[in-house]
């Protein structure tokens, strides 16, 4: 029961009244490109978010480190000691230009009716993460519209470089650590409901190391000055084949990371985490998950337990892109041995693993197998992070989600990566991540959220704020 049931009722009513406007605001945000990899639209999107915060009543501004601006702000009722919550989100998106498979313009924010009859809001960033960002901010506006005082004080940290590894985030936190550490916890909103209708709350994120492996002809062998006609290929080594062989040495026949690459660095799952996964597997619709991803089959046995165990407890190395030679738009590539071959990888790590130590182990693995000439460059890196089910912020989100979700599943970690270690390690506060509502297609074509799930998502955020205020005894400033 809420400590302010009348205030909660008024806010929920205002969410329903304002829903059409909120959906249009989400669409407006999607229509503003903000591709951090290229810089397209990033400045304009940062200003859009800043102005929206100001319309919610927050003191908001743009902080600059070296790259995209960080939107920062505060929204406090003032008076008394109240719980303080750090709101984190991102406003940048992955590129969509040239990506095949889109049925609509990725930045048109079209609403389309799917085969199941449900309306989808389709666009780059709809799910990751402009949908959750704008819909959550709209909740704060609904408090203001309803004349209900927020039960917590809010500090905002909304970055524009998450999709390129968050290079400005750590310096920003170092510069503002005292103010950020005054918060009791952090909250990251997310559409966490599967296509089947199960809402999944995850207690943490894997770590991420973005790598580039490259082989360039030179003293070790291969073309030293430029591409060479393939007729001479029998006489010298190929950088392309060397790179392919190096990449293949990292994984087994099932494309799982060889145990010898990281060895004893990989921590075994705890009994508590195994129990969470076992409980989730009993109700996990693995076929629905497969269809949602557009797959015909999974690796291994493909059972719910097998898939969840791999997602939760495996380190993975993925080839994001390969490049060697050139392919003309119309026609065949030239028959040459390219001088340079490159691969871009992402390595995902479990809690407790040091990214630098993992990179060093990868370097040793390559050297020991005769690939010292394969250059290894770290593009960005951050460790995994975890919260616990006993934290007040996690309990508050669980309670709020249960009020809106017919089925709630708690998992120990997200198979995806996000720099949430900045909260637990750099700032020293716990965090909660999630929400009710379905979306899918992150980073892929036809990324979407369900239009009808915006309202339960917003209600979950509102309920969470009330529940957290009840559960958390604020620390003195």
Where do the H-state alpha helices sit in 256-340? Answer: 259-262, 271-283, 286-293, 304-313
pLDDT of residue 401: 98
With vertex at residue 38, the alpha carbon angle to CA 33 and CA 41, rounded to the nearest 5 degrees, is: 30
In a 10 Å sphere around its CB, with 0-12 CB exposed, 13-18 middle and 19+ buried, how is residue 292 labelled?
middle
Instruction: Measure the CA angle with vertex 341, ends 337 and 345; round to 5°.
Output: 155
pLDDT at 81 over 80: no
Are 349 and 452 found together in one domain? Answer: no
pLDDT over threshold 70, residue 330: yes
Q: Which domain CATH number covers 93?
A: 3.40.630.10
Residue pLDDT, tens place only, 190-229: 999 988 898 999 999 999 999 999 999 999 999 999 999 9
Q: Which residue has the tokens 């290929």?
A: 233
170 and 219 belong to one structural domain: no
DSSP conformation class of 405: -
Question: What is the domain range of residue 79?
Answer: 5-203+387-471
* pLDDT, position 275: 94
Answer yes or no: do 86 and 146 share one domain: yes
pLDDT at 1: 55
DSSP state letters, 227-255: -EEGGGGGGS--HHHHHHHHHHTTB-TTS
Contacts of 360 (CB under 8 A, 6+ apart): none
Spatial separation of the C-alpha atoms in residues 124 and 128, rounded to whole Å? 8
Q: How many CB atoms lie within 10 A of CB 11?
A: 28
CB-based contact 341:210 (threshold 8 Å): no
Same domain, residue pair 9 and 136: yes
Rg (CA), the chain: 24
pLDDT digits (tens, 9 = 90+) for 32-66: 999 999 999 999 999 999 999 999 999 999 999 99
Residues 333 and 326 sit within 8 Å (Cβ to Cβ): yes
Instruction: Say if residue 122 is in the same domain as residue 198.
Output: yes
Same domain for 378 and 393: no
User: φ, ψ for residue 185 (rounded to 5)?
Assistant: -170, 170
**Same-domain status, 171 and 136:** yes
Residue 281 belongs to some domain of the structure: no
Residue 289: its pLDDT value, please?
A: 87
What CATH number is attached to the domain comprising 250?
3.30.70.360
């Amino acid at each position: 029961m809420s400590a302010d049931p009348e205030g909660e009722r008024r806010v929920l009513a205002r969410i329903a009244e304002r829903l059409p406007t909120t959906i249009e605001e989400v669409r407006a945000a999607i229509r503003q490109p903000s591709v951090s990899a290229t810089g397209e639209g990033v400045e304009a999107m940062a200003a859009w978010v800043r102005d929206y915060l100001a319309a919610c009543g927050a003191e908001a501004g743009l902080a600059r480190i070296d790259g995209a601006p960080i939107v920062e702000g505060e929204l406090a009722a003032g008076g008394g000691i109240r719980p303080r919550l750090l709101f984190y989100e991102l406003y940048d998106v992955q590129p969509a230009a040239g990506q095949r498979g889109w049925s609509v313009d990725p930045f048109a924010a079209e609403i389309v009716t799917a085969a199941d009859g449900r309306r989808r809001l389709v666009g780059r960033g709809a799910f990751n993460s402009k949908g959750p960002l704008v819909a959550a901010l709209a909740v704060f506006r609904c408090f203001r519209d309803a004349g209900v005082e927020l039960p917590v004080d809010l500090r905002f940290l909304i970055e524009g470089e998450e999709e390129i590894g968050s290079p400005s985030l750590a310096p920003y936190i170092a510069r503002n650590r005292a103010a950020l550490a005054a918060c009791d916890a952090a909250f990251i909103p997310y559409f966490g409901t599967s296509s089947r209708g199960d809402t999944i709350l995850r207690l943490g994120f894997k770590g991420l190391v973005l790598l580039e492996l490259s082989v360039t002809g030179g003293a070790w062998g291969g073309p030293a000055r430029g591409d060479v006609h393939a007729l001479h290929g029998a006489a010298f080594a190929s950088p392309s084949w060397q790179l392919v062989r190096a990449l293949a040495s990292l994984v087994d026949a099932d494309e799982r990371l060889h145990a010898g690459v990281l060895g004893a660095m990989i921590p075994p799952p705890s009994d508590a985490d195994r129990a969470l996964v076992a409980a989730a597997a009993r109700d996990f619709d693995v076929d629905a998950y497969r269809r949602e991803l557009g797959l015909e089959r999974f690796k291994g046995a493909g059972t719910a337990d097998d898939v969840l165990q791999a997602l939760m407890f495996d380190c993975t190395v993925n080839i994001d892109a390969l490049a060697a030679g050139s392919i003309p738009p119309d026609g065949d590539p030239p028959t040459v041995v390219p001088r340079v071959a490159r691969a871009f990888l992402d390595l995902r790590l479990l809690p407790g693993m040091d990214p630098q130590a993992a990179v060093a182990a990868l370097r040793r693995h390559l050297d020991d197998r005769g690939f010292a000439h394969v250059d290894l460059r770290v593009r960005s890196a951050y460790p995994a992070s975890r919260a616990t089910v006993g934290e007040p912020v996690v309990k508050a989100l669980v309670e709020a989600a249960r009020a809106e979700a017919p089925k709630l599943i708690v998992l120990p970690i997200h198979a995806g990566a996000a720099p949430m270690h900045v909260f637990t390690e750099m700032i020293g506060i716990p965090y909660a991540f999630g929400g009710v509502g379905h979306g899918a297609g992150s980073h892929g074509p036809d990324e979407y959220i369900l239009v009808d799930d915006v309202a339960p998502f917003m209600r979950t955020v509102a309920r969470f704020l009330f529940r957290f205020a009840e559960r958390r005894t604020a620390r003195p400033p």
